[in-house]
Amino acid sequence: MSQKSEHGKWTVSSSDESVDEQDNCDKPSTSLVQRAGRDRAGEPPYPCSEARKAAQKRKSSPLEFRDGNFSSEVQPAPKRLSQEGSGWCLSSSDEEGDCQVQAKRGDAAATSARLEGDCAKEAVKDELPLNHSSTGPSVRVQDTWDLLNGGNPFRFFLTKVKGIKSKYNSGALHIKDILSPLFGTLVSSAQFNYCIDVEWLIHQYPKEFRDKPLLIIHGEKRESKADLHEQAHPYTNVRLCQAKLDIAFGTHHTKMMLLCYEEGLRVVIHTSNLIEDDWYQKTQGVYLLGSTPGRFQNTEKEKWGHLRLRKLLKDHATQVTDEDSWPVIGQFSSIGSLGADRSKWLCSEFRQSLVTLGNSAKSPTDQEVPIHLIYPTVDNVRQSLEGYPAGGSLPYSIQTAQKQLWLHSYFHKWSAKASGRNHAMPHIKTYMRVSPDFQKIAWFIVTSANLSKAAWGAFEKNGAQLMIRSYELGVLFLPSEFGLDTGFFQVKENLLSDEPASSFPVPYDLPPEKYESKDRPWIWNIPYTKAPDTHGNMWVPK
């Protein structure tokens, strides 16, 4: 459907929400469900969002940049789209934007070479080839056993990324590392997730564990549920459990593993979907509970709305000097509808929860505590390792964005040079309270929760109840839980250094850099045809 507004002409893509169903735990259906849509070119072999379907289509059928236009590399070729107004801008002028670039296809390599931080130079010769068949753990990183039982008191890790210098993967994990037999003899496991490729998941387990009982907890309904059952049908050891979702627009977004060994239990809380793309060239976070099988550490972990977070910060966080000047940072990969202005949710109930520090009688006013929101720009995505298809996992829609232009004044660019992930687009979600000089943090969360009311909850009935639509899970890191009485962690300045173990490894650069006038937030369901990505291609979502 084509529409036109003050932001130019654009084409939208949408999907209907499934109706509610009764939850149940059962064996996969014995009758194979035949889905015509599964045979369409470029369709992912697993249930997923429209944004991810668009990304998969562009990967399998890229639109090559050529003389300011594009053409399909596969047949049948899609229609040519006019360049006029094809990009979406928040201001009335694009004079400084990259949408003014008119490059030839032959200039795509030169365009790529100008990437900030020079992505091309980050790839090193001793890395495995950049293809999905080589996404397993690298033999060049330190032994997984040493990594998980070494000097990382936080048990917080990033996932490995293909295409960056090997030194930046030395402390990172692939899913095969997490499921390694080094940690014991697996008896059974449970996987909680949102988007699941069953066949791929099975092959991430060591061969000797692939027939062990596996319970998959999901939120799929109707046709998507049937697709998931069809995927699981060949594996007699796999059982499916549908999470109860009685509220419209809610999702089962929790991402967790329960790994039961003969020697003990390991809990893994993370931010990746159980699909190959999420463990390939994206920035993701992992938390592991338990050092070795049978030995565990205690930490604050809960499924929460923002009121749960408020209580945890009130009961366990410590007040700091001049706390009103300590900003809140939110970093996420998707954004919901937050209301007509900042007072409707972001700078009222949500901020009130995040600024809580200890049992203080003082309540910061609306104007006192700054909020910095980190979300990738169009150029961040265009210049990424994946190119435009990385935007498939950043599903901020034009329909939502145009209703809350006020929000974009809070936006800051994605920048992660310190972790070598400047061009690995974030699917990780993190929130923190940081000092004015960005050298200390009062607390840190890694979570599945994006910036939305569905994830964090919103007051209803004049504040009498909190409506939370989705299942989410995260980990709250507090200084007091790690024996620090200062009320804060020091930020680890160099993630590759041997700084004190109590320094916290924030996975992106601080302070965050505010959007410039030419910057635009990534919107997934409009075309970008004015400049090529790192693979020389364009983005047209349909």
Query: Catalytic residue numbers?
Result: 253, 427
HEC sequence for 178-247? HCCHHHCCEEEEEEECCCECHHHHHCCCCHHHCCCCEEEEECCCHHHHHHHHHHHCCCCCEEEEECCCCC
Token pair of 326, please? 């300590």
Pairing type for strands 214-218 and 238-242 reads: parallel
Whole-angstrom distance, CA of residue 490 vs CA of residue 479:
10
Whole-angstrom distance, CA of residue 104 vs CA of residue 203:
41
The one-letter amino acid code at 326 reads: W
> Residue 79, annotated ligand binder?
no
Residue 31 is given by DSSP the state S
CA 13, 14, 19 angle in degrees (round to 5)? 165
Backbone angles phi, psi at 191, to 5 degrees: -120, 120
> Residue 255, annotated ligand binder?
yes
CA distances 330 to 31, 345, 424, Å, are 45, 14, 18
User: What DSSP element (H or E) covers 266?
Assistant: strand 265-270
Residue 350 is given by DSSP the state I
Q: Contact at 8 Å (CB) between 255 and 473?
A: yes
Q: Is the C-alpha dihedral spanning 266, 269, 273, 278 positive or negative? A: negative
Q: Contact at 8 Å (CB) between 427 and 282?
A: yes
Binning the chain into helix, strand and coil, the percentages to the nearest 5 are 25, 20, 55
Q: How many CB atoms lie within 10 A of CB 94?
A: 17
Q: Which residues contribute to the annotated binding site for substrate?
A: 255, 429
Binding-site members are: 255, 429
